[in-house]
């Protein structure tokens, strides 16, 4: 206590010296004239409150940015408040599960298009673009495929035909409807020296399977933007650098790769990827689109004000990184309400990771996104400073 008091007295004294110092030593310089007040009307002026409380899709429009959400198709069918909020807030949607291989082709040769078609119809009714997720992923593959490969009844040549056929069939069905596809999802390992994951695709189609998949998808819909998508690549780290090197090589070989998806699954117990703008910039310089594709910010419950503030800052960091990147086209959250988030099921004790609570009411994280969209000038097209 005594020690603390001494420090405080010292600090006060230092402060007093600092304040008194300059005026006794030399005359204070005359303040520079303030610029004339900016007019509070006309283009570029956004008065704070009334125009900030607008749906995200409206606020994002002047940036040319899509704001998206993953959609739970069961909730879409059964929950009116969910459906209305999804339509009102977002200009892009991603299927949380129903466009994955296991869901589209549960039995070999028998496609189950129903749920995916419902999502496409919903998006079209509401003027939303669709980000297709995902053509090739080592998870949520149909059992007939993984078992067939494991027991040798599907050999490498056949797997190649099956994969080509899957990509072609799915991309063609949604040609002109899906704006962009995650062609390969989570292709790299997580360790200090990331390499291509040892999936059935890597094993049986060879290391160039990503280029092949991109070419097959491009042939099926030449207008779709083709992405690679992964988690833990939001900042600069060995894994994002592995993507950077791969992207550079694919571009050099003129393989049709058009974008990189940064999932943005953040967790408050880990460092915030504050260098996301620098990371996205290097992909941007390769001529690629970028997007945050699955943003959520989880933490250990219960909620407190520290965590809430951390969550606001985390969402805003990623959104700002996107706005700072000329070709960052989309900012998508992985579910917009805690009511249906994947987080509590997968991480024990964690949750509250989305911008709306379980009653679909806006949380501070949502207000933060609104404010960043409202306040940000577009650094590439509209900054008039
Ligand atoms: O949110 C999805 C969850 O409902 C599924 O059970 C899970 C199965 O692996 O996949 C979740 O979505 C994942 C996405 O497809 C790819 N990136 C990570 C997402 C969260 O796990």
Q: What are phi and psi of 27, to 5 degrees?
A: -70, 140
Q: Which CATH number fits domain 55-375: 3.20.20.80, 1.10.3720.10, 3.40.50.300, 3.40.640.10?
A: 3.20.20.80
Among 15-29, 34-48, 286-300, the range scoring the smallest mean pLDDT is: 15-29
pLDDT interval class at 128 (50, 70, 90): very high
Q: Specify the higher pLDDT residue, 239 or 45.
A: 239
C-alpha 147 to ligand 1 mean position (Å): 21
pTM of the model: 0.87
Which of 89, 96, 105, 186 is flagged as catalytic?
186
CB distance 101 to ligand 1 below 6 Å: no
Alpha-carbon distance of 317 to 312, in angstroms, equals 9
Q: Would you state the pLDDT for residue 384?
A: 38
In short, whether 356's Cβ falls inside 6 Å of ligand 1 is: no
Say whether 294 is catalytic.
Answer: yes
Query: What is the pLDDT averaged over residues 24-29?
Result: 48
Please provide the average confidence, as pLDDT, over all residues in the chain: 89
| Rounded-to-integer distance, Cα 362 and Cα 336, Å | 10
pLDDT tens-digit readout, 271-301: 999 999 999 999 999 999 999 999 999 999 9
What's the mean pLDDT in 141-147?
A: 98
Binning pLDDT at 50, 70 and 90, where does residue 32 land?
A: low
Residue length, the chain? Answer: 385
More confident residue, 117 or 52: 117
Q: Quick one: average pLDDT of 118-124?
A: 98
Q: Is the pLDDT of residue 307 over 50?
A: yes
Q: 266: which strand partners?
A: 297
Q: What is the mean predicted confidence (pLDDT) over 209-222?
A: 98
pLDDT at residue 18 in the model: 32
User: Does 102 participate in catalysis according to the annotation?
Assistant: no
Average pLDDT over residues 219-242: 98
Using a 6 Å cutoff on CB, does residue 289 contact ligand 1? no
Strands 129-136 and 66-71: unpaired
Kindly report, residue by residue over 319-336, the tens digit of the pLDDT. 999 999 999 999 999 999
Burial of 188 (C-beta count, 10 Å sphere; 0-12/13-18/19+): buried
- Among the options 96, 102, 289, 294, which is catalytic? 294
Q: Could you give the C-alpha distances from 231 to 266, 292, 322, 384, in angstroms and in order?
A: 9, 10, 16, 35
Residue 51 tokens read as 């125009």
φ, ψ of residue 293 in degrees (nearest 5): -110, -20
Ligand 1 atom at shortest distance from the alpha carbon of 72: 4
Q: Around Cβ 177, how many Cβ atoms within 10 Å?
A: 16
Place of tokens 């592995």: 242
Q: Is the Cβ–Cβ distance between 328 and 60 less than 8 Å?
A: no
Domain residue limits, the chain = 55-375
């Amino acid at each position: 206590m005594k020690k603390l008091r001494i420090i405080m007295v010292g600090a006060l004294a230092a402060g007093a010296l600092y304040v008194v110092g300059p005026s006794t030593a030399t005359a204070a310089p005359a303040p520079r004239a303030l610029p004339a007040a900016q007019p509070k009307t006309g283009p570029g002026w956004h008065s704070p409150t009334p125009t900030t409380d607008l749906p995200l899709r409206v606020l994002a429009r002047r940036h040319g940015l899509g704001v998206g959400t993953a959609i739970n198709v069961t909730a879409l069918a059964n929950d009116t408040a969910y459906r209305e909020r999804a339509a009102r807030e977002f200009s892009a949607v991603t299927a949380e599960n129903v466009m994955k291989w296991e869901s589209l082709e549960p039995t070999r040769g028998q496609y189950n298009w129903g749920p995916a078609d419902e999502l496409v119809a919903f998006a079209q009714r509401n003027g939303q673009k669709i980000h297709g997720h995902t053509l090739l992923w080592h998870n949520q593959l149909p059992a007939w495929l993984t078992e067939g490969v494991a027991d040798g009844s599907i050999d490498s040549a056949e797997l190649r035909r099956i994969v080509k056929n899957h990509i072609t069939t799915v991309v063609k069905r949604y040609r002109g409807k899906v704006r962009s596809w995650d062609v390969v999802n989570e292709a790299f390992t997580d360790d200090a020296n990331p390499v291509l994951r040892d999936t059935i695709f890597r094993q049986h189609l060879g290391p160039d399977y990503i280029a092949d998949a991109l070419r097959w998808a491009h042939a099926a819909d030449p207008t779709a933007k083709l992405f690679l998508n992964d988690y833990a690549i939001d900042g600069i780290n060995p894994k994002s650098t592995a993507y950077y090197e791969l992207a550079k090589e694919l571009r050099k070989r003129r393989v049709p790769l058009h974008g990189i998806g940064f999932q943005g699954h953040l967790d408050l117990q880990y460092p915030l990827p504050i260098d996301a703008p620098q990371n996205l910039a290097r992909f941007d310089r390769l001529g690629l689109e970028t997007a945050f594709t699955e943003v959520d910010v989880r933490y250990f419950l219960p909620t407190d004000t520290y965590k809430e503030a951390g969550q606001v800052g985390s969402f805003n960091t990623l959104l700002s990184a996107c706005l700072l990147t000329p070709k960052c086209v989309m900012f998508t959250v992985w579910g917009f309400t805690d009511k249906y988030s994947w987080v509590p099921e997968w991480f024990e004790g964690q949750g509250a990771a989305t911008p709306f609570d379980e009653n679909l009411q806006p949380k501070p994280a949502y207000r933060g996104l609104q404010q960043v969209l409202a306040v940000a000038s577009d650094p590439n097209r509209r900054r008039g400073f």
